[in-house]
Amino acid sequence: MPRSQVDKLQFQLEAFMFREGNSPSIYITCILKATIASAPSDAQRKSCSFANGWSAADGNDQVCGCCDSTCGPDGEFAASPYGGIQWEGKASLGPVMVQGQKRGSQ
């Protein structure tokens, strides 16, 4: 989603339940790489989402052009004049409860 504040990322996901599934909970796990906020977005520093094409949270959509393939080796990121990765780690969230859609809603 587009940024509402420069120091925060927002995301939205559409959840579903498998027909045979009995549990309404899901877990979200992702690998995060953070750098200084003043570094401009590029192929290695970006936040992209897909909805009718790739778009960047900061509006610089051209940096998302490699999202369907590969965006280059991690070594390019570390060679940045802005200092490379400041923090990297795995983050998990959950359980998140998925509620059924109410009748009459879209």
* Strand pairing report for 87-97 and 25-34: antiparallel
Write phi, then psi, for 26 (nearest 5 degrees). -130, 160
Q: What per-residue confidence (pLDDT) applies to 35? A: 76
Q: What are the tokens at 90? A: 């795995």
Q: What per-residue confidence (pLDDT) applies to 65? A: 87
Query: Band of the pLDDT at 79, cuts 50, 70, 90?
Result: very low
What pLDDT, in 10s, does the model give residues 88-99?
Answer: 888 888 888 877
What pLDDT, in 10s, does the model give residues 17-74?
Answer: 777 777 778 888 887 777 777 778 888 788 888 888 898 888 889 999 888 887 765 5
Q: What per-residue confidence (pLDDT) applies to 103? A: 54
79 near 39, Cβ under 8 Å? no
Q: What per-residue confidence (pLDDT) applies to 106? A: 47
Whether cis (ω within 30° of 0) applies to the bond prior to 2 is no
What pLDDT, in 10s, does the model give residues 3-20?
Answer: 788 777 787 777 677 777
C-alpha R_g of the chain:
17
> Would the pLDDT of 101 be above 70?
no
Which residues touch 14 (CB under 8 Å, ≥6 apart)?
none
Domains of the chain, residue spans: 25-94
| pTM of this structure | 0.52
The single-letter code of the amino acid at 73 is P
Q: What are the tokens at 100? A: 């059924």
